[in-house]
């Protein structure tokens, strides 16, 4: 079960906002996390606590393909991101590295910054404990659910290659 | 099937594929750069296969923070260079390289009918050649380096049709900025944009590269053009392997068809802080600038530099403005030199650099201070993209950028040169 305080953003949060390119001369997640959201939310890194949840409206993670973006969010302690829609490269990257994402319009519309959410990643149930409301995220397509349950793309690829050798 | 899905289907074991379906696609080329390769290499090593599936189908280009801007960047490039040498992967060293999306088409490494994946969002540039090319992250690239294939969800296609002839000062950059402005930054989310129409037929390859390059700024998975005689003329001297030209089926499924009459279109400017925040230049008003950047994977090709040189020839950059011109590759640089363009730029008072992505992403070679404004031929104007989060970036075509450099404010080329003499100015000195 994932549980934490909500940090809320609007539409089209781009990956330059998540992690500015000037910090991409390194790739260690902990180093990237120090600058997460810096250009649009200067104090995010000081406020964020382990388990916290990012909520945004549409097209979260647009722009650059940098995998450093979900890595920075995850290493900052964020347990999952909930949005109405995600940009496609960010979506793949987050799934691949094991940062859970949920698409849920109602949860986004009815949650404010500072609310406490509890999310069950296996069922997609989202509880807003502050407001006493409950929502269900869009289920993942079967293929992606398999990818996630295998432990991400690297584990999935290892399994595929092992299968080929049999 | 639409054009993109014809190509994708040919790279699977299936005859037919439909939007929304998950497929496994064989790839013809895999790309990474100095920012994305280090993570891809780290993840590849976790797979435990030792060798990449085919080193001649992988290219790595040091272009973002190169020539190395600091020790940390140098360490990243070193890791990439050593991995390439050990694996036999195609690698272009500083001095022989270019910005990846200018370089790969020039080198004949990306061809019509190919499926190309790259750990860079602007990988979609190669759609200009009738290829299916899309950006992904480092872990996707790592998996594909091990297996030679990658999973994809079959995208729907939006057909974007352009009618009418282009007016003065207007080119591919204006068409794509206008389109992103009309559709929004997520207007083509998960979709392919198939660019077509009589305006496209008359557009140069360099103009098409600019358009395909920015498809991702509308959220698209790829932008694609049909192959025509112009494409063949570009490809034939460069291709070192056979390629196949695909056509969309007569009855193709499009989720949306958008139609633009561009016969009255002015040059377009994307105002801060979104590529979709576009206005025709006559409605931008007086905006003073501190810096001009002409270059990048969007507008760093020879035609872009020729256009800029025709505006700058015999003129002086405004004394308060830093004008930075970056040829997109060594080949572009050398051609610009032999055609006299570099002399025009230097005499006008511009700084000319070796190829690099540098300022486009606020890396180096032209980072902005707080309160500064830049007009740039690049592709993104997000908050902090080119430096300080308190700086501003305006996006334009190279002609407008060059005219603005002379005037010190965002300017229609009409104010610095008349159309007749512009057309007659030969790039050669």
Contact A152, A96 (CB under 8 A): yes
CB-based contact B285:B187 (threshold 8 Å): no
Please say if the pLDDT value at position B429 is more than 50.
no
A110 pLDDT above the threshold of 50: yes
Domain ranges of chain B: 3-260, 270-424
Q: Which residues 8-47 of A have a C-beta within 8 angstroms of B?
A: 12, 14, 16-17, 20-22, 24-27, 38-40
Compute the average pLDDT of residues B119-135.
Answer: 98
ipTM, two decimals: 0.96
* Subunit contact B382:A63, Cβ cutoff 8 A: yes
- Whole-angstrom CA distances from A4 to A122, B38, B269, B334, B338 are 17, 32, 42, 56, 62
Segment B24-48 mean pLDDT: 98
Best residue in B137, B215, B277 for a mutation probing chain A (most A CBs within 10 Å)? B137
Q: Please compute the mean of the pLDDT values over residues B351-380 and round it to a whole number.
A: 98
Instruction: Assign a CATH topology to domain B270-424.
Output: Aconitase; domain 3 (3.30.499)
Q: Specify the pTM.
A: 0.98
Q: Which CATH architecture has domain B3-260?
A: 2-Layer Sandwich (3.30)
- The pLDDT tens digits for B227-274 are 999 999 999 999 999 999 999 998 778 999 999 999 999 999 999 999
Torsion angle defined by CA atoms of residues B299, B303, B308 and B314, in that order, rounded to the nearest 10 degrees: 160
Q: Report the chain B residue with the minimal C-alpha distance to residue A161.
A: B147
User: Would an 8 Å CB–CB cutoff place A68 in contact with chain B?
Assistant: yes
What would the pLDDT profile of A59-88 be if each residue is shown by its tens digit? 999 999 999 999 999 999 999 999 999 999
Q: What is the pLDDT of residues B380-394, one digit of tens each?
A: 999 999 999 999 999
Task: List C-alpha distances in Å: A53 to A16, B54, B317.
Answer: 19, 41, 49
Tell whether A148 lies on the interface with B, counting CB pairs under 8 A. Answer: no
CA distance A129 to B1: 47
Q: Do A154 and B143 touch (CB under 8 A)?
A: yes
Region A124-141: mean pLDDT is 97
Domain B3-260 identical in fold to domain B270-424:
yes
**Are A87 and B389 an interchain contact pair (Cβ–Cβ within 8 Å)?**
no
Give per-residue pLDDT as tens, B189-207.
Answer: 999 999 999 999 999 999 9
Among B135, B151, B185, select the one facing A89 at the smallest CB separation: B135
Confidence at residue A163, expressed as pLDDT on a 0 to 100 scale: 86
- Is B73–A88 a contact, with Cβ atoms under 8 angstroms apart? no
Q: In this structure, what DSSP letter does residue A140 have? A: P
């Amino acid at each position: 079960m994932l549980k934490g305080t909500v940090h809320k953003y609007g539409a089209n949060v781009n990956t330059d906002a998540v992690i500015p390119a000037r910090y991409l001369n390194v790739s260690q997640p902990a180093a990237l996390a120090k600058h997460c959201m810096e250009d649009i939310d200067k104090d995010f890194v000081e406020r964020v606590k382990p388990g916290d949840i990012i909520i945004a409206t549409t097209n979260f993670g647009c722009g650059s393909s940098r995998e450093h973006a979900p890595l920075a969010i995850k290493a900052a302690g964020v347990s999952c991101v909930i949005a109405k829609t995600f940009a496609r490269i960010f979506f793949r990257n987050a799934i691949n590295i094991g940062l859970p994402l949920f698409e849920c319009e109602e949860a986004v519309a009815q949650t404010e910054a500072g609310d406490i959410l509890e999310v069950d990643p296996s069922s997609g149930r989202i509880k807003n404990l502050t407001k006493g409301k409950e929502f269900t995220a869009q289920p993942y397509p079967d293929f992606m659910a398999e990818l996630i349950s295998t432990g991400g793309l690297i584990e999935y690829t290892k399994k595929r290659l092992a299968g080929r050798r049999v | 099937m639409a054009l993109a899905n014809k190509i994708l289907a040919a790279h699977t074991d299936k005859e037919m594929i439909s939007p929304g379906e998950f497929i496994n696609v064989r790839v013809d080329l895999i790309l990474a750069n100095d920012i994305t390769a280090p993570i891809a290499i780290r993840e590849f090593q976790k797979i435990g296969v030792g060798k990449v599936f085919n080193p001649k189908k992988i290219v790595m280009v040091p272009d973002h923070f190169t020539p190395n801007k600091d020790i940390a960047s140098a360490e990243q490039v070193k890791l990439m260079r050593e991995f390439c040498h050990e694996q036999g992967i195609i690698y272009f060293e500083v001095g022989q390289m270019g910005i990846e999306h200018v370089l790969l088409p020039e080198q004949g490494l990306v061809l019509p009918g190919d499926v190309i994946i790259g750990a860079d969002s602007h990988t979609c540039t190669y759609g200009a050649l009738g290829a299916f090319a899309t950006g992904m992250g480092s872990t996707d690239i790592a998996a594909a380096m091990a297996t030679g294939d990658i999973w994809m969800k079959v995208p729907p296609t939006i057909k974007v049709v352009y009618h009418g002839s282009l007016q003065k000062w207007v080119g591919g950059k204006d068409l794509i900025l206008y389109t992103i402005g009309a559709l929004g930054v997520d207007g083509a989310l998960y979709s392919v944009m198939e660019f077509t129409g009589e305006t496209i037929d008359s557009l140069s390859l360099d103009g098409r590269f600019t358009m395909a390059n920015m498809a991702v700024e509308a959220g698209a998975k790829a932008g694609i053009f049909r192959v025509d005689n112009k494409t063949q003329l570009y490809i034939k001297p460069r291709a070192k392997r056979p390629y196949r030209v695909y056509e969309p089926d007569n009855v193709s499924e499009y989720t949306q068809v958008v139609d633009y009459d561009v016969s009255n279109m002015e040059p377009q400017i994307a105002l801060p802080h979104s590529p979709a925040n576009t206005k025709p230049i006559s409605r931008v008003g007086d905006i003073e600038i501190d810096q001009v950047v002409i270059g990048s994977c969007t507008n760093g090709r020879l035609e872009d530099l020729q256009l800029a040189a025709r505006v700058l020839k015999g003129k002086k950059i405004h004394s308060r403005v830093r004008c930075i011109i970056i040829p997109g590759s060594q080949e572009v640089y050398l051609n610009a030199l032999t055609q006299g363009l570099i002399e025009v730029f230097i005499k006008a008072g511009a700084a000319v650099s070796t190829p690099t992505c540098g300022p486009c992403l606020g890396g180096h070679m032209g980072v902005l201070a707080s309160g500064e404004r830049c007009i740039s031929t690049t592709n993104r104007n997000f908050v902090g993209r080119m430096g300080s989060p308190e700086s501003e970036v305006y996006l334009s075509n190279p002609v407008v950028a060059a005219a603005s450099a002379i005037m010190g404010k965002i300017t229609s080329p009409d104010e610095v040169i008349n159309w007749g003499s512009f057309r007659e100015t030969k790039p050669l000195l």
